[in-house]
Structure 1
Amino acid sequence: MPGWNCLVTGAGGFVGQRIIKMLVQEKELQEVRALDKVFRRKASKDLFFVFTELQTKAKVTLLEGDILDAQYLRRACQGISVVIHTAAVIDVLGVVPKQTILDVNLKGTQNLLEACVQASVTAFIFCSSVDVAGPNSYKTIVLNGHEEERHENTWPDPYPYSKKMAEKAVLAANGSILKNGGTLHTCALRPMYIYGERSPFISNIIIMALKNKGILSATSKFSIANPVYVDNVAWAHILAARGLQDPKKSPNIQGQFYYVSDDTPHQSYDDFYYTLSKEWGFHLDSSWSLPLPMLYWLAFLLETVSFLLSPVYRYRPLFNRHLVTLANSTFTFTYKKAQRDLGYEPLISWEEAKQKTSEWIGTLVWQHRETLDTKSQ
């Protein structure tokens, strides 16, 4: 891999930033291009400092661009050896318009694949999602699932559908002939639910709990999940980038997808959030809650009301059947295939990941208290 260059899309995001920080430690890397539309926002000026102050011999170039701009993508890919594609719209509540999700997640991926062909990029790693595999029903148990079982999400919701179709496009593009006569090699990684410092989802949960006297809403007590720490997800992408460029490993990786988990204990999402935050005085809501089947059919009723009102009013339910299923299923996967083909082993242990995430949650608590003190003055 002498003198290779890498483009990372979604570089300003939760996973993208971690990938950049690990990439620049690669000895033979000459340049990493960090592409994200978010760089245009004034609130993200700190990202410039995060990337420009990295201790690295590699050149770090920040690109403010849109994944839907095909011509821009083609220019961004010129001279690039590897593309790591993490840019996506994540939405399971129906907040973002359906067409926006399809455009970014599916069309954006197709645009990037075409740009790689035109710019003769030889390796493409797609950050997919476990949501591509399901769960389709909270009644179905998947414990330590693996790639050979061929699970596939059947929900019509735009997020899982767009990620599923984007992954299919990426894997189908493996073996495409490049403009210079070379060959494009692709693979996809399916991380479990990703946690860690600066997780936007955990941040929202903690802020909501702070507004509710430290009570964590118990909405996922029927689940068994195996969340994965963000640095371990980033590490898997680095190994995939190495592997697709390695003549010995590449044939086994090309056109393949891999589940990415780590040694975080299997537990319900409710217990998981409590474990991370209990040091700061948070506790689970102990009040009575609806039985799961009733919650599911209530979600169906709310979706029906939303559909009936749609011609005259946009009503967005607080939850839907997909979210209820996602948050209350037994749905875990092993990383053995990634271990075998990519040489993947989690970089960060559960104890270290738990400590780092908990300490970050502590900063959210202190920020909240400072905000309240300022308002009271």
Structure 2
Amino acid sequence: MATRSRPDLLPALEGVTVVFHCASPAPSSDNKELFYRVNYTGTKAVIQACKEAGVQKVVLTSSASVVFEGTDVKDGTEDLPYAKKPIDYYTETKILQEKEVLGANNPDENFLTVAIRPHGIFGPRDPQLVPILVETARKGKMKFIIGDGKNLVDFTYVENVVHGHILAAESLHKNSPVCGKAYHITNDEPVPFWEFLSRVLVGLDYEPPRYRLPYLLVYYLALLLSLLALLLKPFIAFKPTFTPMRVALAGTHHYYSCKRAKEDMGYRPLVSLDQAIERTVQSYPQLRWAE
């Protein structure tokens, strides 16, 4: 929806009072123009169309990465500033997107907005996290743990993300503390990054990673490979498996506080992390290891 022109959006918004704006290219894409066109230009078109159509509430699917710069974030709150050095172009445009949506909040005109910041979304039949993880394992590239393996990360089950969106929409009304704010929505159960991946892999009958590599060594090797790929781009096209951004995500702490969402919206995760992992693994029988 977000890439259409404003006139094209108006028929779809007729009689609508709440819009959930979830459109975005996959974070793994390297199409900078597409990110900008969807996350920024497209979002501006959505906001304008919503105002013209009389939509009263807009709930944005943002990302906790808007405050992440590749270094540790422990129990991060929404008061953290936007990243001055975003880890990728996806994050850079999500910052622009969130600013547009929250800046459009105007109770005097009965136009209310809120941004939900999930982190590490996963769930049954998702085409991203688990299939990519399994493909990497099948290629023999999941043997190593980056760092000491103790870095805590939020992974958020999709049902909890949806629950957060619904609570946000229900809480949006004049004089509500929710108006014009961003909220972290997670499973509220930080887990070691490599433990989470190992539980998914073992659940699908794959070997978990066992060998450790120093974080800084891998990070600088990834940085060198990225620079090499950039220099050779006119002659040879190759995409490194590990980029500095992916190494940072795999080797640092990044988990976030849900305190504000609990206080302002009554948020509590509906599905525990243990239940979420079990449901997710069971949804991929076709990805199990076969001799």
TM over 0.5: yes
The whole-number CA distance in structure 2 between the counterparts of 1:311 and 1:364 is 36
Alignment-derived partner of residue 44 in structure 1: none
Paired residues of 1:81 and 1:121 also in contact (CA < 8 A)? yes
Written as runs of structure 1 = structure 2, the 5 A alignment for 1:213-362 is 216-220=142-146, 221=149, 223-244=151-172, 246-247=173-174, 251-264=176-189, 266-287=190-211, 289=213, 291-362=214-285
CA deviation after TM superposition for structure 1 residue 87, in Å: 0.9
Quick one: which of 111, 114, 134 aligns to 2:48? 114
Unaligned runs of 5+ in 1: 1-64, 373-377
Residue 263 of structure 1: how far off its partner (Å): 3.7
Provide closer, same or farther for how the CA distance between residues 314 and 111 of structure 1 changes in structure 2, counting only shifts above 3 A.
farther
Aligned letter for 1:131? S
Contact 1:224 1:328 in 2 (8 A): no
Deviation at 1:238, TM superposition (A): 0.5
With the length of structure 2 as denominator, give the TM-score of the two structures: 0.89
On the 8 A contact 1:132/1:153 being kept in 2, the answer is no
SS at match of 2:269: coil
User: 2:17 corresponds to which residue?
Assistant: 81
Percent of paired sites with the same residue = 27
Return the offset for 1:79.
Answer: 1.5
Are residue 161 (structure 1) and residue 88 (structure 2) matched? Answer: no
Q: Give 1:188's aligned amino acid.
A: A
**2:201–2:208 contact (8 Å) kept in structure 1:** no
- Judging changes above 3 Å, is the alpha-carbon distance between structure 1 residues 104 and 217 closer, same or farther for their aligned structure 2 residues? farther
Q: Distance in 1 between matches of 2:45 and 2:20?
A: 14
The offset of 1:328, in angstroms, is 1.3
Match of 2:73 among 142, 151, 154: 142
Are the equivalent residues in 2 in contact too, given 1:128–1:189 (CA < 8 A)?
yes
Once the two structures are superposed, residues 200-248 of structure 1 have per-residue CA deviations (whole angstroms, 9 ceiling, x without a partner) of: 2112212332454xx844355363202111100000001111111x45x
How far residue 269 of structure 1 moved from its aligned partner, in angstroms, is 2.1
1:173-212 Cα deviation digits (max 9, x unpaired): 11187xxxx4211010110111211222112212332454
State the shift of 1:334 in Å: 1.4
SS at match of 1:322: helix
Give, as a single letter, the amino acid of the residue that structure 2 aligns with 1:183.
N
Matched AA of 1:304: L
Q: Please point out which of 135, 148, 152 is paired with 1:207.
A: 135
1:118 CA drift (Å): 1.2
Question: Does structure 2 conserve the Cα–Cα contact (< 8 Å) formed by 1:68 and 1:104?
Answer: no
User: Which whole-Å CA distance do the structure 1 matches of 2:88 and 2:202 have between them?
Assistant: 34
Shift of 1:313: 4.7
Q: Distance between the aligned counterparts of 1:184 and 1:115, measured in 2?
A: 12
Q: CA deviation at 1:121?
A: 0.8
1:184-195 to 2 correspondence within 5 Å?
Answer: 184-195=111-122
1:70 deviation in Å? 2.3
**How far apart, in 2, do the equivalents of 1:89 and 1:328 lie?**
24
8 Å contact from structure 2 (residues 198, 209) kept in 1: no
User: Relative CO higher for 1 or 2, CA cutoff 8 Å, sep ≥ 6?
Assistant: 2
- What SS does the corresponding residue of 2:283 show, helix, strand or coil? helix
- Number of positions where the alignment pairs a residue of Structure 1 with one of Structure 2: 288
TM-score (structure 1 length as normaliser): 0.70
Q: Decide whether the 8 Å contact of 2:153 with 2:254 is kept in 1.
A: yes
Pairwise CA RMSD: 2.4
* Rounded Cα–Cα distance in structure 2 between residues aligned with 1:87 and 1:226: 22
For 1:102 and 1:186, locate their aligned partners in 2 and report how far apart those are by CA, in whole Å.
Answer: 21
